Amino acid sequence: MGKIHLTKENQEEAIKETEKVEKAVQKETVKSTTQRASEGKVYVSSSYNNTIITLTNTRGQVLAWKSAGSVGFKGTKKSTSFAASKVAETIATICKKIGVEKISVLISGIGAGRESSVRTLISQGLNVISIKDVTPIPHNGCRPRKIRRV
């Protein structure tokens, strides 16, 4: 009697798992059909420690993103320009799969991966429409401290 009970539970669990897989496949097909775009924006965020590149459509919805850490670099190697170029290569292949041909690049931050990522995107065959620097710069700075009275 115990064995029959176990097999029924296993069959129910298998049915639930197949339903989850079918739902995930449906979501992926919906995403892939909605993500077809011929134009997009590429945001390059380059810091002293990492380079993150995000691909969005013209409305700003994220299609894909990669960082030097997700590509496989660890530690201080993430901050190099070589790592940034590898990240840009992976984003370029994703662009080709999705169908993005024209991109506008928006760069923010101060790091080693700024120039190399843009050069790699151009060399991979993507049509770069514009390159814009959107690094935040303080206009007047913070309010100074009050004067010390002795």
- SS3 annotation, 121-150: HHHCCCEEEEEEECCCCCCCCCCCCCCCCC
Q: Where do we find the tokens 């892939």? A: 32
- Could you give phi then psi for residue 129, rounded to 5 degrees? -80, -50
What is the C-alpha separation between 3 and 53, in angstroms, rounded?
53
Contact call for residues 136 and 108 (beta carbons, < 8 A): yes
Asked whether 85 and 116 are in contact (CB, 8 A), the reply is yes
Q: % helix / strand / coil in the chain, to the nearest 5? A: 45, 25, 30
Helix (H) / strand (E) containing 63: strand 62-67
pLDDT digits (tens, 9 = 90+) for 63-113: 999 999 999 999 999 999 999 999 999 999 999 999 999 999 999 999 888
| pLDDT one-digit tens code per residue, 105-134 | 999 999 888 999 999 999 999 999 999 999
pTM: 0.70
**Domains identified in the chain and CATH numbers:** 37-133 (3.30.420.80)
Model pLDDT for residues 13-66, shown as the tens digit of each residue: 777 766 765 665 555 444 554 556 789 999 999 999 999 999 999 999 999 999
Quote the CA–CA distance of 81 and 113 in Å, as a whole number. Answer: 4
Nearest to 129 by CA among 58, 47, 32, 53: 58
Q: 149: exposed, middle or buried (C-beta count within 10 Å: 0-12, 13-18, 19+)?
A: exposed
pLDDT value for 13:
74
